Structure 1
C-alpha cells in the first residue's frame, strides 16, 4: 500500500485535476437538477460524474505505469496506462450513447419553458469556466517539451493542437474530453437561449446529439491510439531524431537497425550499430555509454536501451531505413 501511494505522485496531473473539477461540476449540476427537475441537466450531471470517474481511473493508471519491473513482469508496467485508457473509453462510449438518446428524446418531447433559466445558465457557465481551467492544464502538459517563448500567452492554444498527437496518453484523453466538455457547455447554453426565446424548443435536443457525436469521435481517437500503444507502436519520428544524434560519433559507421517502441508514456529502445571490427572492448564500451547518453538527451522517458554491435558492411543501411519509413 505504501508503494501504491508513493506512485501517485507520478500520475498525470491534468487527469487528477480533471477528476476533481468534474466532481465539483457534477455536484453543481446535481443541485441544479434537484431544484429544477430539468432532464437535460440530469443528463449533464451523469455526464460529469462519468467523466470524473473516468479521469480518476486514468490518473491511477498513469501512476501505476511508473512501477519498476518485477520478476513476474520484467518488461515493466509502461503499457498499463494504455489498458486503463481502453477501459476508460468504454465509459465515454456509454456517455456518448446516453447523450444521443437523451437528445432524441428531447426532440420528440420538446416543450417551452422559461423556468429556472438563469440557474441553468449559471451552472453551465460556471462548468464551462472550470472545464477551461482543466483544459489549460492539459495544454501545458502537451506543450511542456517546447521552448517557453513558443507557448507564451495565446500561442499555447495553437501549439497544443499541433502537438496533441504526440502527447502522453492520459494528457491526450483529458485534452480531448475537455474540448468536448467546454464546447458542449457553451453549445448547451446557446441551445437553452434558443429553446427559451424562439419557437425552436427542440434546440437542446439537437445540441445533446451534437455533443454525443463529439464524444463518439473522442472514443474512436482514444481507442485507436491506445490499442496501438498496448500492442507496442513504433515512434518513427523519434527513431530519426535518435539516429541523427547517434551517428554524430566518429566511430559509428552506420545504424543497421533502430526500434523505438512506445510503452504507455515510456519508450523502449533497441538498436544495432556498425563499427570497426578491430575495435577494443574498452572502445566499444565507451561508444555504448555515448549512445545511452545521446538517447537520454533526446528524450527523458526512456526506460531501457539495448545496444548490439556489428562489423561495418559498407552498405548505408540507415539511409535506406529513413527513406522507407512513412512520414
Structure 2
C-alpha cells in the first residue's frame, strides 16, 4: 500500500486536477438538471461525470505505469496507461450514447424546462472552470514537449504540440476542449429556447455534445490502441539516429527502433563500427552513446549492439 501511494504522487497532475474539477461540475449540473429539467443540462452533466471517471482512471493508470519492472513483468508497466485509457473511453462511449439518445428523444418530444437563470449560472461557472483546466493542460503539453509560452500563446502552442504530449495529458486536453465547447453550445441552446420558444434547440445541443464526445472516444481509442501495441516515435527515431551518427567512430546504423511504452521510450540500435576496434574501445563508444541517448526526454531504456562496417550505407 505504501508503494501504491508513492506511485500516485508521480501520476499525471492535469488528469487528477481535471477529475476533481469535473466531479464538482458534474454534481453542480446534476442539481441544476433536477431543478430545471433542462435537457442540454442533462447532456452536460453526463459529459462532466464521464470526463471525471475517465480522468480518475487515467491518473491512476499513469501513476501505476511508472512502477519498476519485476521478475514477472521484466518489460515494465509503461503501456498500462494506454490500457487504462482504452478502458476509460468505454465509459465515455456509453455516456455519449445516452446523451445522443436523450437529445433525439427531446427533439421528437420537446418538454418544458424552467429556471433559466439557474441553468445559465451553472453552465457559466462550468465553462470558466473547464477553461481553467484546459489552460493548465495546455501548459502541461508545453512542459512535456519542451516549449515555452505565456498568455494566449499557451493555447496555440498547446494545439500545435499536442501530438507529442503524453497520452494522459493529451486525453485531458481533448476532453476539456470538448467540455468547454459543449458548455458554450448548451448556453446558446438555452438562450435560443428562452427567446424563441424553440424547445428542440436543447435536444439539438444534446445531440451535438454527444457526437463531440464520440469524437474524443474515437481519437483516444485509436491513439492508445497504437500505444498498447507499441508504436514507433518516428521524430525521436530520426533525432536519436542523428545523435548516434554524430560519433566519429560510428560508420553506419543497420537498425534503430524507438518504441513508445506509455509515457516512456525504449531505444534499440544496431550500429556499425570499424572491425579493428578493441572491445575496450567499443565499450567506451557504447557508454558514450548511451549517456547521450538517456539524456533525451522520455528515454528510459537503451540497448546498443555493434557490428562490423559492411562498407555500404544502410541508414538514410
TM-score band by shorter chain is: over 0.9
Runs of 4+ in 1 over 2 A off after TM superposition: 33-47, 145-148
Query: Matched residues in 2 for 1:147 and 1:82: separation?
Result: 24
Measured against aligned partners, the alpha-carbon deviations of 1:134-167 in whole angstroms (never above 9, x if no partner) come to 111111111113342xx22211112111111121
8 Å contact 1:110–1:202 — kept in the other structure? Answer: yes
Q: Equivalent residue for 1:322?
A: none
Query: Matched residues in 2 for 1:68 and 1:302: separation?
Result: 14
Q: Equivalent residue for 2:233?
A: 235
Q: Equivalent residue for 1:324?
A: none
Q: Equivalent residue for 1:325?
A: none
2:304 to 283, 307, 311: 307
> Structure 2-normalised TM-score?
0.96
Please show how residues 282-301 of structure 1 align to structure 2 within 5 Å: 282-297=280-295, 299-301=296-298
Please show how residues 138-177 of structure 1 align to structure 2 within 5 Å: 138-144=137-143, 145-148=145-148, 151-177=149-175
Measured against aligned partners, the alpha-carbon deviations of 1:83-126 in whole angstroms (never above 9, x if no partner) come to 0000011011111111111110111122455x310110000010
Query: Matched residues in 1 for 2:6 and 2:111: separation?
Result: 53
Query: Matched residues in 2 for 1:201 and 1:21: separation?
Result: 30
Query: Matched residues in 1 for 2:297 and 2:147: separation?
Result: 15
Measured against aligned partners, the alpha-carbon deviations of 1:217-267 in whole angstroms (never above 9, x if no partner) come to 111111111111111011111110011111111101111110000010101
Q: Equivalent residue for 2:125?
A: 126
Q: Equivalent residue for 2:32?
A: 32
Query: Matched residues in 1 for 2:283 and 2:41: separation?
Result: 65
Q: Equivalent residue for 1:21?
A: 21
8 Å contact 2:47–2:179 — kept in the other structure? Answer: no
8 Å contact 2:44–2:182 — kept in the other structure? Answer: no
Q: Structure 2: which 5+ residue stretches go unaligned?
A: none
8 Å contact 2:138–2:158 — kept in the other structure? Answer: yes
Query: Matched residues in 1 for 2:85 and 2:138: separation?
Result: 19
Q: 1:42 to 1:152 in 2, by over 3 A?
A: closer
> Structure 1-normalised TM-score?
0.93
Q: Equivalent residue for 2:179?
A: 181
Q: Structure 1: which 5+ residue stretches go unaligned?
A: 320-327
Q: Equivalent residue for 1:225?
A: 223
8 Å contact 2:43–2:209 — kept in the other structure? Answer: no
Instruction: State the 1:39 CA deviation.
Output: 4.2
Matched residue pairs, number?
A: 315
Q: Equivalent residue for 1:323?
A: none
2:252 to 243, 251, 254: 254
Indicate whether 1:10 and 2:10 are aligned: yes
Secondary structure of 2:267 counterpart: strand
Secondary structure of 1:317 counterpart: coil
Measured against aligned partners, the alpha-carbon deviations of 1:51-107 in whole angstroms (never above 9, x if no partner) come to 211110110000000000000000000000000000011011111111111110111
8 Å contact 2:57–2:84 — kept in the other structure? Answer: yes
8 Å contact 2:40–2:186 — kept in the other structure? Answer: no
Query: Matched residues in 1 for 2:35 and 2:205: separation?
Result: 22
Q: Give RMSD over aligned pairs.
A: 1.3
Query: Matched residues in 2 for 1:262 and 1:278: separation?
Result: 35
Query: Matched residues in 2 for 1:160 and 1:277: separation?
Result: 47
Q: Equivalent residue for 1:212?
A: 210
Q: Equivalent residue for 1:117?
A: 116
Q: Equivalent residue for 2:315?
A: 318
Query: Matched residues in 2 for 1:87 and 1:111: separation?
Result: 35
